[in-house]
Structure 1
């Protein structure tokens, strides 16, 4: 296959996947398609891991080393706004607005390159993970025995990044993406007539006080040398214009990199919410859940990622110490169990490539596909030399 044919094949895969998005744990047609490509390449394919997950194995030579290359599969519940886009989503209310269609195509491309050239010695496992967007798929695959059934010495992943020049790479040792914890604060007061507020306990005013008070957690409780974010994103009441509500629900999330910061945020937020409600005579229920683990690259694996990226695009297009981001990725759950590294690949800083993730007009930059495919294949060659 010529370079041009290979590049066009990547685009065909990506456009097909983009037209047929499926959300977390519903990726049945997606996994069917991925498995069919892997089977056609002659790989040993395993289905149904963690629900809809797929693992394909390619062994060459007698090497004992094993590397995992991972791609996410699930779409978002967003209606695509893409007038004139020939490969736009054909599934109402769903689209690949974060790039898993591209990530899958890059890992499929690496599988094709390695299957054709067989220029390594060992085993490569191609891991296609469901339900990344809500932080459930990695755990589901591991609960289903992923690393017991398909052990790896290390695992690697990548995510496109709008705003970075197309095809550039960025990574770092240590924390590169944050944890995400979700919280729900339920306040129960005593509703009544808006003209007689003294007869009730107003949960709306109490909730407003809590939202403001929570902004002090990062400013006054977290070490300034550590990173954290607390965001209240929903404020829901059962009131009407002339009635003070009885119930208020506040929802949101927090981001951080260190387990001790996660614990601090939960403790201080709970204390503030309970204290304010008690002071006003209201009831409070505070729920705090851990959704995403922080993505923390293993220092011993980052040099391999840097070497592979440099071999593909040159040192001038590789950032070895990128600023950590407060976004979250389910890949972090894998890194709590096995060594590995995660990189960002620039999707473009202008035009279509620069449209933000999770935007209805987002699209993966097709020019990045061969760069990512060759990067993943190069990782295998470096870690599993002949």
Structure 2
């Protein structure tokens, strides 16, 4: 007998809405997800899963063992909220001042909880194991890496992983799949230029860090347009330039902060040297000194093509081909799901959320952002069916 996944997911609708609203009303920032983790752990224990808490400080991992031995697949959700004040009149709006689930992580957790409930219901037909990973701190330093270091992909060994993100410009009720790179690597640069301050009327006696900074900024932009293959995706954005305090005094120093992003992990590793060459050449020319700190955050998120094709087929079977879109355009935002994909096959889905009639038109990280609660059961069913079909394959 075929499992009625969508009908089973729809039967969980009211329960999942209540779970999502509880998560939404009490948002917690990265590595602070104590209440969130406790709530998730209780739900999963109550349905009979093996639950481990305190993974990477606040993460939760649950295991469902099938009635027959086999492979293991993981379903992952991120847990953390953002330091935003929610601007909403909804009854379920955030009750925590200055904190909000504005990136849909409350929905992501609910999808995976729903999938756990569905798979537990059909445990007797499960050949293998499913791990449910609830990961802290995606928005900050990235909780995926420490979870992996603490063995989340071992015991039993995970052979594939599925994750997803509500996507603000993909139509609601649809799912978008992207083969290959889906999200960019992320890195930070922090540059302090040490010049020589003095009176603005005597610039020849000074070493102007503002002039030096703007020249470095321009050269960094020329790196993206002239120093790289135009077919490569590369973004270098200087988003903060701080120098001086008054109108007639050249400052001693300037501080530039920015980000660099690419879809090519080899280029990602080569960028720091290229950036520092520009900084050194310009500061040497003007006789200034500098201190430069470059930090790699996340690698590019690159979906495994074979697993993505498999997941696409599952989605088309469940939802119909017309509701499964093939995404051609990666995002230059970052996502620490990349660390899982560096180690095992998997895919990161885009869950459609755009719906003008429901006023679901706001971007991620916007204080008005919300999700379509009526789709929670649908996505839970998709996750559950993907896991079941993988284990049967």
TM-score (norm 1): 0.96
1:175 aligns with 2:198: no
Residues 282-306 of structure 1, C-alpha deviations (whole Å, 9 max, x = no match): 1112221110111111122112211
Determine the C-alpha separation between the residues in 1 that align with 2:179 and 2:328: 9
Q: Which residue number in structure 1 is paired with residue 265 of structure 2?
A: 259
Does 2:379 match 1:372? Answer: yes
Report the secondary structure of 2:380's partner residue: helix
DSSP 3-state at the match of 1:272: helix
Q: CA deviation at 1:65?
A: 1.1
Whether 1:16 aligns to 2:14 is no
Distance in 2 (CA, whole Å) between partners of 1:11 and 1:270 is 50
Is residue 2:92 matched to residue 1:74? no
TM-fit CA distance, 1:199: 2.5
SS at match of 1:78: coil
Conserved in 2, the CA contact under 8 Å of 1:43 and 1:58?
yes
Query: Aligned-pair RMSD on alpha carbons?
Result: 1.7
Within 5 Å, give how 1:80-119 maps onto structure 2: 80-82=86-88, 84-118=89-123, 119=125
User: d(CA) in 2 for partners of 1:342 and 1:263?
Assistant: 23
CA contact (8 A) 1:179 1:293 kept: yes
SS of 2:392's partner is coil
Aligned to 1:383: 390
Deviates more, 1:274-283 or 1:190-199: 190-199
Say whether residues 1:161 and 2:163 are aligned partners: no
CA deviations on 1:171-200 (whole Å, 9 max, x unpaired) are 222111110011111101111222332221
Runs of 4+ that moved beyond 3 A: 1-5
Q: In 2 relative to 1, CA 13–289 (structure 1 residues): closer, same or farther, beyond 3 Å?
A: same
Give 3-state SS (helix, strand or coil) of 2:153's partner.
Answer: helix
Residue equivalent to 2:206: 200
Structure 2: distance between partners of 1:16 and 1:381: 28
How has the CA–CA distance of structure 1 residues 3 and 273 changed in structure 2, closer, same or farther, with 3 Å as cutoff?
A: closer
Q: Unmatched 5+ residue regions in structure 2?
A: 1-6
Q: Structure 2 length normalisation: TM-score?
A: 0.94
Alpha-carbon contact 1:222-1:261 (below 8 Å) kept: no
Question: Matched residues in 2 for 1:138 and 1:164: separation?
Answer: 25
Describe the SS at the equivalent of 2:73.
strand
Tell me the CA shift for residue 310 of structure 1: 1.2
Post-superposition offset of 1:376: 0.5
Secondary structure in 1 aligned to 2:305? coil
Maintained 8 Å contact 1:352/1:365 = no
Residue matched to 2:366: 359
**Change in CA separation of 1:232 and 1:6 when aligned onto 2, cut-off 3 Å:** same
In structure 1, distance between residues paired with 2:147 and 2:8 = 36
